[in-house]
Amino acid sequence: MAMLQVLLNQVKGPLPLKGTFQCRSSDIIDAIVTGVSYRKTGTPNGPAGVNLVITDSTGNTIGEATGRVEGSAIGGWRSMISQWGQMKLNAGETYNFEVRAAFPEVDSSSDNFFTATLVY
Amino acid sequence: MDIQEIFSQQLTSLPFSTKFTMRSSAGAVLYVAASLTPQSKAGPVGLIVKIDGKQVANPKAFSNEIGSARPLVADLQPIASDFEEHTLTLESANSEGIAGPWDFGAATIFYLGMVDPFIWRFSGALPQSKTFQSRITGDGVLFVAASAFTPKTQMAAIEVLLDGQPVAKTHMKPGIANSHFTFPPLFLPIKLTAKAHTIGLAASAGVATDQNDTFEVAIIY
């Protein structure tokens, strides 16, 4: 039976969104972040998106999952295409997570909702 | 749960193919998410997803804007699995959808073991509900994907109801009125009892859905 750990469940922006969690397993786990993204008005056409970054207590990046979408689409915010990220953590240890803009041009607001989940 | 990423990248052209080797003969589901760009008119866009030439999934959406990337309603479908090499292919479902300058795609396999998932994919106006028999007592994995439109630009939500009680909700604020849009999909835990349950989808006030909207609810045990 799969076990899930929810880091964020429809939490409003703006980005970044940060927190901590205690890992429940030393097996390989997978992470996903979903939500919407868009580029700031006046910036060149290009991708938008966010990164879910997992770091340990020393600040080293242990794992990452991403979401991407066209950043200048007509009508603004678009749901991202999410890429699962795989990582190996240690059971019982506390880790940091952050959902952050993937590019400097990415906009975010309190109208955006993000969900981040770990699958053991 | 063992998860195998098949690919995740910018889609520069279609058809797109990649080879991969499965790593279990137990039950599996394929998850495909992508965006496409309609090139000449409003209408449906989608992907035909094939493994070794056989269609296994059909993520799709209705696009009202030409030349702008449209995220598709992601698709999660059961597939046969083994330890062999296979070819995954993405083709546009019609001549309208192309891989534009900034379209993306991703495909992932979840190896489930021997317990078949519950998968309900449909089109049409909400609310809708369906009965299923939970195979377990405990936490399952709920997947939900949806599209809708709003007569005016406002915050919109689609709610998942289990036996009439809300268990998940996805939000989106579209920038254009009367334009179909795709909600962010969700993967969340859901508490189940080994019995018959009714699961439903409902739209929040002011949110419209019709035959051009696609929905999927899946429960993985």
CATH value at residue B23: 2.60.120.1340
| Cα–Cα distance, A33 to B9 (Å, whole number) | 16
Shortest CB distance from B188 goes to which of A6, A69, A113? A6
- Terminal alpha carbon distance of chain B: 10
Q: What is the mean pLDDT of residues B9-17?
A: 96
Indicate whether B84 and B109 sit together in one domain: yes
- Terminal alpha carbon distance of chain A: 9
Chain B hits for A45, Cβ within 8 Å: 101-102
Tally Cβ neighbours within 10 Å of residue B171: 20
Identify the band that residue B64 occupies on the pLDDT scale cut at 50, 70 and 90: very high
How do residues B92-132 score in pLDDT, each as one tens digit? 999 999 999 999 999 999 999 878 999 999 999 999 999 99
Indicate whether B159 and B179 sit together in one domain: yes
The pLDDT value given to residue A83: 95
Q: Which domain holds residue B173?
A: 115-221
Put simply, the answer to whether A84 touches B34 (Cβ < 8 Å) is: no
Q: Which of B71, B93, B114 is the last residue of a domain?
A: B114
The pLDDT value given to residue A1: 67
The pLDDT value given to residue A75: 79
Chain B hits for A32, Cβ within 8 Å: 187
Q: What is the mean pLDDT of residues B176-190?
A: 97
Indicate whether B143 and B50 sit together in one domain: no
The pLDDT value given to residue A2: 79
Fold of A4-119: Jelly Rolls (2.60.120)
To which H or E segment does residue B90 belong? strand B85-92
Residue B70 β-bridge partners: B36
Residue B195, pLDDT above cutoff 70: yes
Indicate whether B48 and B152 sit together in one domain: no
- A89 CA: distance to closest CA in chain B (Å): 15
Number of domains in chain B: 2
Chain A hits for B10, Cβ within 8 Å: 47, 68
Indicate whether B162 and B105 sit together in one domain: no
Q: Which residues of chain A have pLDDT under 70?
A: 1
Q: What is the ipTM of this complex?
A: 0.95
Chain B hits for A108, Cβ within 8 Å: none
How do residues B147-162 score in pLDDT, each as one tens digit? 999 999 999 999 999 9
Indicate whether B160 and B148 sit together in one domain: yes
- B81 CA: distance to closest CA in chain A (Å): 18
Q: Which of B65, B91, B114 is the last residue of a domain?
A: B114
| Beta strands A94-101 and A81-83, pairing class | unpaired
